[in-house]
């Protein structure tokens, strides 16, 4: 029987990318194929700058959901209105678990489904918004979608190399950490010189929300 390992589910405001400012239910899936999430493994991870806790199922409304219906019921219980729900499937790497059964169940309730993925797994059909955030040195097979959002700068990654791929929106997001101020200025400078790209700021951190 299908099981979904969920770190947390919560209602918030989308803080980054194209949909910045939009109310959304975030459903964070446990696990990733580029890092175990264990801090001692970070130095040898295929993605060593992740700022998200996606380990386990101990977050708000986290747990093992044994079928799509139960997971969708929980998601819907957090949406506050009759307006069509907007749900962001994120991680970790959500496409390790997101399948057509879950998508079909969500569509029964006219849920608008967005996914945030690292691009190493092809997305199933039926998603309304695909945001891909590739990581340097890793395979990139989900090379089409609605938005590409590159964490910048990354050693060995030139945003220009990704302009050939089929995306509607191109975003650069300053890498968080001790060098955030410097990285923000580098991102601004790059976008000013290359106006195909738009600066994406993690506004949820500025606002102090999840």
Q: What whole-number distance in Å separates Cα of residue 30 and Cα of residue 171?
A: 25
User: Which strand (E) or helix (H) includes residue 104?
Assistant: helix 100-107
For residue 65, with 0-12 CB atoms within 10 Å meaning exposed, 13-18 middle and 19 or more buried, which class applies?
buried
Q: What whole-number distance in Å separates Cα of residue 129 and Cα of residue 9?
A: 19
Angle (deg, nearest 10), helices 100-107 and 68-77: 40
Q: What whole-number distance in Å separates Cα of residue 37 and Cα of residue 45?
A: 9
Catalytic residue set:
26, 32, 47, 50-52, 116, 204
Contact 155, 48 (CB under 8 A): no
Place of tokens 């945003």: 159
Q: In angstroms, what is the C-alpha Rg of the chain?
A: 17
């Amino acid at each position: 029987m299908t099981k979904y390992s969920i770190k947390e589910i919560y209602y918030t405001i989308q803080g980054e990318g194209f949909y910045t400012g939009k109310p959304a239910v975030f459903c964070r899936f446990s696990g990733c194929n580029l890092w175990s999430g264990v801090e001692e493994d970070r130095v040898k991870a295929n993605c060593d700058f992740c700022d998200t806790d996606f380990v386990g199922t101990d977050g708000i409304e986290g747990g093992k959901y044994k079928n799509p219906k139960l997971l969708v019921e929980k998601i819907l219980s957090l949406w506050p209105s009759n307006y069509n729900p907007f749900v962001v499937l994120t991680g970790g790497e959500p496409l390790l678990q997101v399948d057509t059964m879950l998508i079909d169940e969500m569509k029964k309730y006219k849920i608008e489904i967005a996914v945030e993925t690292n691009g190493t797994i092809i997305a199933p059909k039926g998603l309304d918004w695909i945001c891909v955030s590739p990581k340097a040195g890793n395979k990139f097979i989900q090379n089409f979608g609605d938005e590409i959002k590159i964490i910048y700068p990354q050693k060995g990654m030139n945003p220009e190399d990704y302009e050939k791929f089929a995306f509607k929106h191109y975003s650069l997001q300053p890498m968080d950490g001790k060098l955030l101020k410097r990285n923000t200025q580098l991102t601004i400078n790059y976008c000013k010189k290359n106006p195909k790209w738009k600066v994406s700021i993690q506004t949820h951190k500025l606002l102090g929300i999840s």
